[in-house]
Amino acid sequence: MKKSNKFYCSLMATVITTVLSSGCVSECGKKLNNKPLGIIKASAYGEKKLVQQSPIKNNWQLIWSDEFEDINGDGSLDSSKWGYEVGFIRNKESQYYTKDRRNNVRVEDGKLIIEGIKEDFTAKNGKKSSYTSGSINTLGKFSFKYGRIDVRAKLAGGRGCWPAIWMMGTDRKKYGWPKCGEIDIMEYVVSGKKENPLRVHSTVHGPNYDWKTEKEPRTGYLLFDRPPTEDYHVYSLEWNQDSMKFYFDGKMFLSLKNTQNKEWVYSKPYYILLNLALGGSWGGEIVNDDLPAKYYVDYVRVYEKLAK
């Protein structure tokens, strides 16, 4: 969740371009003007792979999911699955993350909605903020090591918005960041420095792969022909002891191979986070006219691979 300009210069210097087909699996949802979102370019560090169809149909068993049905009848989250981050958390972001406040986090029409709002807010502890939003996670409720996670989401596209689907090692409190490890399945930044609203990113961070040392950056992005905010898309990670593979609508665009060294911190349980940040070190300048902004998630599904 942290980036630097140097990082992007380095990224662009080593860019590998792959032209992808613009086909769309059924999960894409409705197509605008009968034209699916087109992928102009896929760029990835690490091991380069051509896009291929997802093997989701075969040998995978669902072990955890939230379809965001309103099981409580009041728009609240399923508290057996999700908890909240509260307050100002990281990256000098502008939003105060509220807890169990429907304005910012609610379940509606089978979707999770995280809403970033410009407002004068005073928390119960007296802290004041000009912006509120939501960040939820499964820490202490669900984690997994290896498998596949699919998240179907429609991204918030306001300038300054920074929606994300990501995971951190459950030992974060013990070891801190980046030793705990971080897997960013999807990050989307509209107005950050050198950012492009036509890109989504996938990145891993760890002791050897963090944005500060950049010893071995591990990241990739997709460049689209229009912003990926108009419709739902499926962002996926397929993860085993050998590799992590990142997919967009069932098409792989980034594959990272286990380096087998002690800095590979992706062989332990991780928990899931969904949030909508506003501003901060990467989110960039917030344009108030673009708020409120809504980040929709249709489902989160986690699978484990069955033995053949």
Work out how close the CB of 112 gets to Ca ion at its nearest, in angstroms, rounded to a whole number: 8
* Closer residue to Ca ion in complex, CB, 68/144: 68
- Give the count of beta carbons closer than 10 Å to the beta carbon of residue 299: 19
Q: State which of residues 55, 75, 110, 269 lies at the interface with Ca ion (CB under 5 A).
A: 110
**Mask of contacts with Ca ion, 10-49, x by CB under 5 A?**
----------------------------------------
Shortest reach from residue 27's CB to Ca ion, in Å: 12
- DSSP classification of residue 57: T
- Is the peptide bond preceding residue 227 cis, with omega within 30 degrees of 0? no
**Of 45, 60, 64, 68, which one interacts with Ca ion (CB under 5 A)?**
68
Cβ distance to Ca ion smaller for residue 151 or 180: 151
Whole-angstrom Cα distance, residue 130 to residue 157?
A: 19
CB of 190 to Ca ion, least distance (A): 25
Q: Which positions are annotated as active-site residues?
A: 182, 187
Q: Is 75 in the site for Ca ion (CB under 5 A)?
A: no
CA–CA gap between residue 29 and residue 25 (Å, rounded): 9
Of the candidates 154, 147, 180, the residue with the CA atom closest to the CA atom of residue 301: 147
Nearer residue to Ca ion within complex by CB, 29 or 83: 29
Q: How far apart are CA 284 and CA 8, in angstroms?
A: 15
Residues of this chain, 78-107, that bind Ca ion according to CB under 5 A: none
Give me the torsion for CA of 202, 208, 213, 219, rounded to 10°: -20
DSSP-assigned beta bridge partners for residue 35: 32
Rounded least distance, CB 87 to Ca ion, Å? 28
**Does residue 298 belong to the site contacting Ca ion (CB under 5 A)?**
yes
Q: Which is nearer to Ca ion, 55 or 110 (by Cβ)? A: 110
Q: Are 228 and 200 in contact (CB under 8 A)?
A: yes
Cα gap 262→74, rounded to integer Å: 47
Task: List the one residue from 2, 8, 67, 216 that touches Ca ion (CB under 5 A).
Answer: 67
Rounded to 5°, angle at Cα 35 from 29 and 41: 95
Query: Are the C-beta atoms of residues 248 and 151 closer than 8 Å to each other?
Result: no
Sole window of 90-98, 118-126, 156-164, 291-299 interacting with Ca ion (rule: CB under 5 A):
291-299
Identify which range of 110-118, 162-170, 208-216, 287-295 contacts Ca ion by CB under 5 A. Answer: 110-118
Residues in touch with Ca ion (CB under 5 A): 67-68, 110, 298-299
